[in-house]
Chains A and B, each alone.
Chain A
């Protein structure tokens, strides 16, 4: 079994607050891994460690190893810009730029130095098709992305992310602001994308975790209590706390 990401003994602090405690996790290549756990357990902090978004917070401190394809992403020689190109992120609230639909998808290509309009146009179409949004927007590409529905906006954000061809896509509760129909569309999309991308999804929705993921890790108070194949976690969890959480006794 090949691993895309290996996290070893990760500790994260914000000032004095110890957010993640000795977290170790291996993320399989081209598979969907779900991170579950109650609010404030450190799931979001964990995935934001994987593309170094926590670096934006002044009080962030960490120790431990985060390896992407065997290389430490916190090595001083690592180019954060290059890393974030390889590890894309979809946020909880859809956050398209206040630009046209086309420009939203073209943005990542342009900041990475692609200037050939033909290449950009082709890539925008391809990305929108991969994100199952093309048919809905192909005639309004020059209209503002802010006019789209929440679900469309989130698929646009996914299109924007896959346009720069990342290896890993981090999704931080991507459906929590969406209605059930939009959620189904995003989940279908995740199924489609998993053969090309390694996906890590944070979710509060247990059904969603069982529907989309092959592997699940349960976080509680900054620690991973249990992780393994999703089927096993949800059918016969080893730890009482995991069982309590997935059966809705707390969280």
Chain B
């Protein structure tokens, strides 16, 4: 057997291929974000961000939509975070491998691959109609919570499990109880990973249109009570574009949504980074 290519050349070629793959990934991201922001730029100003929509959103701003988005996302996270953290702690620290654990994991994995429109239909049937919550911030928020739950659960479980077992042993050997060990040693060490999971879950919730299409209503006013209908940014964007109301304002709305997500990601990453460095003494 003769070598067709020398190992040295193969090494260089492969390195180049990997480099190109990395660069393409960044480019795709930059092109999409850049396109949306450029197209949205012409309508972006303080009046657009802090103003009320006029004539179904043909004119005016999107302030009620920003508040709606914040509101439903907050409710989704308030419900999904404790629930998924509890399940993650149970799975990684208390449960021994068995049928129940396998069932919970399978359930969470399946939940995360269900299309969001199905969540929307379920939310309509269960929260809006059966529990009689109506088209409201609460119905929408709870539907989004169901969607964010498996994401937060999976990320938290992985980060709790990745914490070195020697920390737990050290704590237990000092006479700490299991819960003290989890609460004071394991969770603080897993906090960066858990935060990342919460942010990923938040990203799913804040950017979702289909799941709230049938659950949150489409009101143009600022929602005050959790039983008020609302219109989060993705839904507003969807309505503006599909009903041919204003493509310019649709792009403006998209740009605001993208910028909000970027800001949240950058700020949390910085905070998580700072926390990790302090914790690990680097």
**Chain B, 154-170, CB within 8 A of any chain A CB:** 164, 166-167, 169-170
- The residue from A89, A99, A157 contacting B188, defined by CB atoms under 8 A apart: A99
The verdict on B8 contacting chain A, using a C-beta distance below 8 Å, is no
The answer on a CB contact under 8 Å between B175 and A81 is yes
- The residue from A91, A147, A148 contacting B282, defined by CB atoms under 8 A apart: A147
Q: Report the Cα distance A108→B185, complex, angstroms.
A: 12
Residues of A within 8 A of B176 (CB): 81, 107-108, 111
User: What number of A-B contacts does a CB cutoff of 8 Å give?
Assistant: 83
The answer on a CB contact under 8 Å between A82 and B171 is no
Min C-beta distance of A223 to chain B, whole Å: 26
- The residue from B172, B175, B177, B188 contacting A98, defined by CB atoms under 8 A apart: B188
The verdict on B22 contacting chain A, using a C-beta distance below 8 Å, is no
- The residue from B164, B172, B177 contacting A53, defined by CB atoms under 8 A apart: B172
Contacts A97-B170, A143-B281, A160-B174 known; A58 to B96 CB distance under 8 Å?
A: yes
The verdict on B15 contacting chain A, using a C-beta distance below 8 Å, is no
Count of A residues near B, CB < 8 Å?
33
Closest to B183 in A: A111
Contacts A146-B279, A146-B280, A147-B281 known; A108 to B189 CB distance under 8 Å?
A: no
Residues of B within 8 A of A246 (CB): none
The verdict on A24 contacting chain B, using a C-beta distance below 8 Å, is no
Residues of B within 8 A of A203 (CB): none
Interface of B is mostly: helix
Which of the four size classes fits the interface of chain B?
Answer: 20 to 34
The answer on a CB contact under 8 Å between A144 and B169 is no
Min C-beta distance of A106 to chain B, whole Å: 11
Interface string of A102-144 (1 = CB under 8 A from B): 0000011011100000000000000000000000000000011
The verdict on A242 contacting chain B, using a C-beta distance below 8 Å, is no
The answer on a CB contact under 8 Å between A84 and B177 is no
The verdict on B2 contacting chain A, using a C-beta distance below 8 Å, is no
Closest to A86 in B: B175
Residues of B within 8 A of A144 (CB): 278-281
**Chain B, 239-282, CB within 8 A of any chain A CB:** 278-282
Residues of A within 8 A of B280 (CB): 98, 144, 146-147
Closest to B279 in A: A98
Q: Report the Cα distance A190→B130, complex, angstroms.
A: 69
The answer on a CB contact under 8 Å between A99 and B169 is no
The verdict on A227 contacting chain B, using a C-beta distance below 8 Å, is no
Closest 3 CB pairs of A and B: A147-B281, A144-B281, A85-B175
Q: A56-B169, A95-B170, A146-B282 are in contact. List 13 more A-B contacts (CB 8 A).
A: A51-B173, A53-B172, A84-B174, A95-B164, A96-B170, A98-B279, A111-B180, A112-B175, A144-B280, A147-B280, A148-B281, A160-B170, A164-B174
7 contacts between A and B (CB under 8 A): A91-B170, A95-B169, A98-B188, A107-B176, A108-B174, A111-B175, A164-B175
